[in-house]
Amino acid sequence: MMALLLNKRGDEVKITEDVVKAAAGNVDSEMMALLLDMRGDEVKITEDVVKAAAGNVDSEMMVLLLDKRGDEVKITEDVVKAAAGNVNSGMMALLLDKRGDESTQPPSPSAQSPSTFRITSASFS
């Protein structure tokens, strides 16, 4: 349905943050894949979008975002909290697997911005 809408009336469809957040929170990652493929330049990966994906019971959404737009996916403290609260315990494991090597030890407070949280295995020891 969304593909048809974008194909027939794409110039009339605005891709807002709310649309992207709704897609990220959707159990089926097909809509997000469609948005990224057809209108990728308009899809902004904000912290709220990443939090919605981290809270999604289907980890395929986060895999999709990391694979297609990983450089824009910032793992903040709030994203980690969303993943930790997810009934899918695999979400935290996914974040550790995909992004856990960003730092081997927690950075000093002066080395990171207040809203950035680096995931390390030491963070969960």
Q: With helix as H, strand as E and coil as C, how does 60-123 read?
A: HHHHHHHHHHHHHCCCEHHHHHHHHCCCCCHHHHHHHHHHHHHCCCCCCHHHCCCCECCCCHHH
Q: What is the pTM of this model?
A: 0.74
DSSP for residue 16: -
What total of structural domains would you count in the chain? 1
Q: Closest Cα to residue 119, out of 61, 50, 58?
A: 50
Nearest CA among 14, 22, 69 for reference residue 45: 69
Per-residue pLDDT of the chain (125 residues; tens, 9 = 90+): 566 566 666 676 788 899 899 999 988 888 899 899 988 888 999 999 999 999 999 899 999 999 999 999 999 999 999 999 988 878 988 998 888 765 334 444 554 555 555 565 555 54
Domain that holds residue 24: 2-124
